[in-house]
Structure 1
């Protein structure tokens, strides 16, 4: 829908966007088509859409895939769109918060087939939604999200950059992320305060690196980035991360051939996997 069409519908049903829900609706048809073309849809694709809104993406997407499950939190939108979506045999809308949705019971599946997850999401749910998707990764083939450009840059960041952090490591351990293109804030109504990007996260069949304990590795990463301005030996050793003394951390770095004077953002994900595997043997 272009803006005039959207406003006409809103006037008919007395709807106003809810700022608390982070509602910014896509109004640019060119960007709509660009997003649709970027998602690898086939006649067998099962797509889960987060926040279908007024069907700007949902209806054209339904013409390119087998089935869409649209999860809508706003009861006002659900009541408006449920009778419209019911006219399409392959669109099902449920009223729920995606963060509270049981993916295992709600996601439509055919045997071992995995779904694609898509959404133009409220920016404030980006991290918890991605964490939930990772926890349900055996159900999901890939994730395509329109999100804040800055967050997309963090997720795809490389070691040595200021954007590189704990979220980067967590998601790159389980997925192969790729920022597909930027989207101007003028493509939405109401216009958000920031620019957006479409991000693709391909779920990996196996984590990107071997680790003896994911829990330990992510504890090390979290501790390192909580004090990212410190040298890595100090951020891990001063308070005995994992109960390991500083001199033992120094030995771990030496055995892994990693400079202990680097900072958290300078270590690659493989570096963190290597030192964590050594740390398992020290506990």
Structure 2
């Protein structure tokens, strides 16, 4: 990073001033909690292990705290913001505080749950403070839609972070854990205090680092339906939980046995590889 490639980060007073200027009142509906601590956004950029060639996708840039920290570190930032008022103001904030970096920013006014690859510039990384209420669906959608995205660092509710990064065998392991594992290795890497946000949320936050890996040898949509069925009734054995999915408990037991999985096991004990094996076997068993 050269001396010219710097930006003036936003502090608490800057965040309040911008919000007042725009008449922005953070809403729970949009999951808006703005980061106002420069040290936190620096820490996020450092933890993401970015390099100057990365094209970073940022979802929900809000008032621009993280955007300003990202721009000096990468080739380009593509910011997807659903709020048109915030999306319109972001380029001006960057031009005011980091004029030499303004040409590195592209802002797209769109819903991250519906954005498509052809709207973006082949991002290599996702770095975002995600709205709590849609964090897992957004991550899954972007991993599916953007094969060029090889890594991600997302800030989410701490409880969600635990589920995203959970390993088989624990109570937090479930549908999000398996579906994330289809695409990437996920690790919870840091806790973020509530005090760095405005307004202060009533839950803790955490950073989850995702590293893309080869997907299993199975049909993704079929496997995701299997995973949904396996965890719909967590207390039941897979033989019982998958009865409707397989067309009967005996058929479920047969598919499981052929896949090398005990019919008496429960979904939370299976790896993503186990679910892929069951999916492949189910495909062979059905006409």
Which interval holds the TM-score relative to the shorter structure? 0.7 to 0.9
Q: Give matches, 1:217-256, under 5 Å.
A: 217-237=223-243, 239=244, 241-243=245-247, 245-256=248-259
1:137 and 1:203 in contact (8 A); partners too:
no
Which residue of structure 1 aligns with residue 89 of structure 2?
80
Instruction: Output the TM-score relative to the length of structure 2.
Output: 0.87
Counterparts of 1:184-223 in structure 2 under 5 Å? 184-204=193-213, 206-207=214-215, 209-211=216-218, 213-223=219-229
Q: Which runs of 5+ in 2 are unaligned?
A: 1-9
Contact 1:142–1:203 at 8 Å: present in 2 too? Answer: yes
CA distance in 2, matches of 1:119, 1:171: 16
Report the alpha carbon displacement of residue 13 of structure 1 after superposing the two structures with TM: 4.2
Q: How many residues in Structure 1 have an aligned counterpart in Structure 2? A: 272
How does 1:85-104 map onto structure 2 within 5 Å? 85-86=94-95, 87=99, 88-104=102-118
In the alignment, structure 1 segments of 5+ residues that lack a partner are: none
Tell me which of 43, 46, 67 is aligned to 2:76.
67
Q: Give deviations 1:175-219, integer Å, cap 9, x for gaps.
A: 111111111112111011211111122222x21x333x3333222
Contact 1:185–1:195 (CA under 8 A) maintained in structure 2: yes
- Tell me the SS of whatever aligns to 1:48: strand
Deviation for aligned residue 1:251 = 3.1
Q: Which segment is superposed worse, 47-56 or 266-275?
A: 266-275
2:173 aligned with 1:160: no
**Alignment partner of 1:174 out of 163, 183, 197:** 183
Contact preservation (8 Å) 1:85, 1:92: no
Query: What CA RMSD, in Å, does the superposition of the two structures yield over aligned residues?
Result: 2.0
Any idea what the Cα deviations from partners look like across 1:96-129, whole Å, max 9, x if unmatched?
Answer: 222232332x2124xxxx5211211111121221
TM-score when scaled to structure 1? 0.88
Conserved 8 A contact 1:182-1:198: yes
Give the Cα–Cα distance (whole angstroms) in 2 for the partners of residues 31 and 236 of structure 1. 44
Q: Which residue of 2 aligns with 1:107?
A: 120
- Residues 101, 221 of structure 1: CA spacing in aligned structure 2 closer, same or farther, 3 A cutoff? closer
The CA deviation string for residues 252-282 of structure 1, in whole angstroms up to 9 with x for no partner, is 3334443322222122222222222222221
What secondary structure does 2:211 align onto?
Answer: strand
